Chains A and B, each alone.
Chain A
Amino acid sequence: MKLERLVKPYYDALEEGKVLARRCLECGAIEFPPHYACNKCGYHATEWVELSGHGWLKTIILPAPTTDDARLKPYGRYGFGEVEFDEGVTTNVVIYGITPKKRKVLRERIANGEKVGVHKKIVDLGGYKGLHFELDEGE
């Protein structure tokens, strides 16, 4: 195979507000974050695809003394959780707009089958950008 950079283009795209992933050339699964091969089916080749940066919140964990990340403080209250991208891939991310009270309400709504939307919030983590999320409905 051809030697190709995937990590640098991923971060370069975040600088422009875009979220890049790969798509499996055999099974079509989205590979996020971007890697050469498909981790769903084990096929060796993928191609670039741009994601919408929108998804659905599945779970919420609150930060606590052993898990809080001080770098995120400037961007507001947040939680950790699983987000399923509109394109079908699920990953563990940071979601802004989560407070203990909000978590309780959102958990019940998700348990009742409601889809809680989130969208990309690209934050500066000290010389580079990271892909985080925020609630569509705000805090």
Chain B
Amino acid sequence: MEYNSMTHSRIGRYSRSVSIFGVGATPFMDINDDPELEGLTEGEVFGCAAISAMEDAGIEPRDVQYFYHCSANPAFFNNCVTPNMQVAEWMGMRGRGSVHHSEACCSGYVGLEQAVMAVASGTYDIVLSGGAEMATGLPDGTKPACFRRRITTDDIYPDLVKIGDRAYARSIIGGMNVGSDNWLDLYVRTYGLTDKEIDDTLNQMSYNGRRAAALNPLALMRTPFEDLAKEVGIDDPMEYLRSPYNPKVSQYLRVTGNAPAADGAAAVIVAPTEMAHLFKTKPIEILGIGASCLEFAVPQLEMQATREATRQVYEMTGVKPEEIDLLLINDFMLGSQLLAAEEVGYLPRGEGWKYVLEGRTAFDGDKPINSSGGRTSYGHAFGASGMADVYEAVIQMRGEAGAHQVKKTPKTTFLRGFGGGQNVRAIILRTAE
């Protein structure tokens, strides 16, 4: 069946080249019941990530002319609206122009796009963009921000409905609930995978991600599956992953195929590439960012929007899929990792699952994907996750990722942002000459 019931567009070149000169991130955490972390607030995590990004770039808050702040849903998680001028107070930017935006789990990628456009247009030279989310809890009534309670599924399910169109999609229901199962189902049907083959592939992705996260000090879930398996008397981690200890929660995804919520923040500093002399880091250029957004009622929305955004960015930049050294996919539903990797041309169509099973997509494989551990092991601080991926891309491209550094230092990185109902961004970064 042809999936093409949407309009298409092109993107043009930036008026001037823009690069990333600073990155900062907090760990992705669960602050509940942790005496060292309990009571952390949105302003503190954002401020920490933002000031870390400035330190990395070698600048002070007074040097930053404008900033973008994002979170997936500040009304729900933070009991406030337009928190941008509130976080400005935390980083010495009182009075500066700023924007708050929310595109659910795609917010961070959109934040990079907006900051790049602000600099490329010539309006500003030094711009900060960051995302923060305290996603493991909720405000405790009307008390100050440091008083929170743990979130439950009863809290979050009624809120998730809000990402679907209220005029129609919520009454039609279908698209709201098929999630990533729909694209996985298409893949399984098209390439004739058995139930066991797709299950093993998804479990291998969980395993690969956890191996990277175990070596990444910023990741939330760092206990190797070997250890979790041994705790219940199972020797083989893959056997553990396909056991009732890891039950199915959707048609294809098991518990480990869904991202655990996290608290955290990440931020970047962007500026014209030609101003590199102002900063202490080497520039990582943003070559282009494609964009496409589709409502839930549209069949195969993730596939179609990924295809559209990817075509835009390849056309505009002239970059070929074979030039990509590292791929970062927002895979809060794990299937996206494989499916989007094939859609952007990083893995051959219909063959990607074999690459996964052979370990080639692990952080230390020859086709690394989600070297940070991915959403399902790194954790998911919704509105901050996209910026955490930008952080990961930059430290990998600088060769500063430490124990989870990919084998060949990436020169070109592709990021596929995804989230909400649903926003997609296709971003290409390249180490500037």
Contact = CB atoms under 8 A, between A and B. Distances in A.
Interface of A: 7, 10-11, 29, 33, 39-42, 58-59, 61-69, 72, 80-82, 84, 89-94, 107, 111, 125, 128-132
- Chain B interface size range: 20 to 34
A39 B172 contact: no
A67 B168 contact: no
A132 B171 CA distance: 9
A67 B181 CA distance: 10
A64 B181 CA distance: 10
A63 B178 CA distance: 8
Given A39-B7, A66-B250, A82-B299, A94 B172 contact: yes
Nearest to A62: B251
B250 A67 contact: yes
Given A59-B182, A132-B173, A64 B168 contact: no
Given A61-B185, A91-B175, 6 more contacts: A64-B251, A66-B253, A67-B250, A90-B5, A90-B299, A93-B173
A128 to B, nearest CB: 7
Nearest to A41: B7
Task: Return the 5 tightest CB-CB contacts between A and B, nearest first.
Answer: A92-B175, A92-B174, A33-B168, A130-B171, A93-B174
A45 B4 CA distance: 20
Given A59-B182, A130-B173, A132-B173, A91 B297 contact: yes
B248 interface: yes
A59 B185 contact: yes
B186 interface: yes
13 contacts: A39-B7, A59-B299, A64-B248, A66-B249, A66-B250, A67-B250, A80-B178, A82-B182, A90-B5, A91-B175, A92-B174, A92-B182, A94-B173
A10 B253 CA distance: 35
Contact of B174 (A39, A62, A68, A91): A91
Contacts of B80: none
B172 A42 contact: no
A90 B177 CA distance: 16
A85 B133 CA distance: 41
Contacts of B299: 58-59, 82, 90-92
Given A33-B167, A125-B171, A130-B173, A64 B178 contact: no
B1 interface: yes
A33 to B, nearest CB: 4
B102 interface: no
Nearest to B181: A61
A28 B331 CA distance: 37
Contacts of B5: 29, 39-40, 89-90
A91 to B, nearest CB: 5
A94 B174 contact: yes
Contacts of A61: 177-178, 181-182, 185, 251
Contacts of B181: 61, 67
Contacts of A91: 172, 174-175, 297-299
A58 B5 CA distance: 16
B258 interface: yes
B6 interface: yes
B167 A80 contact: no
Given A62-B251, A80-B178, A92 B297 contact: yes
B185 A42 contact: no
Interface in B142-173: 167-168, 171-173
Nearest to B301: A92
Given A33-B297, A42-B7, A131-B172, A69 B177 contact: yes
Interface string B218-262: 000000000000000000000000000000111101000010000
B217 interface: no
Contacts of B174: 80-81, 91-94
Contact of B173 (A33, A69, A84, A128): A69
Contacts of B186: 59
A117 to B, nearest CB: 16
A105 to B, nearest CB: 15
B21 interface: no
Contacts of A7: 167-168
With most chain B CB atoms within 10 A of its CB, the pick from A40, A65, A80, A130 is A80
Interface string B267-311: 000000000000000000000000000001111100000000000
Contacts of A66: 179, 249-250, 253, 258
Given A64-B251, A111-B189, A39 B168 contact: no
A131 B177 contact: no
A66 B178 CA distance: 10
B1 A39 contact: no
Contacts of A107: 189
A92 B172 contact: yes
Contacts of A94: 172-174
Given A41-B7, A58-B1, A62-B251, A80 B177 contact: yes
Nearest to A110: B189
Given A39-B5, A59-B186, A93 B258 contact: no
Interface core residue of B173, B182, B297 (most chain A CB under 10 Å): B173
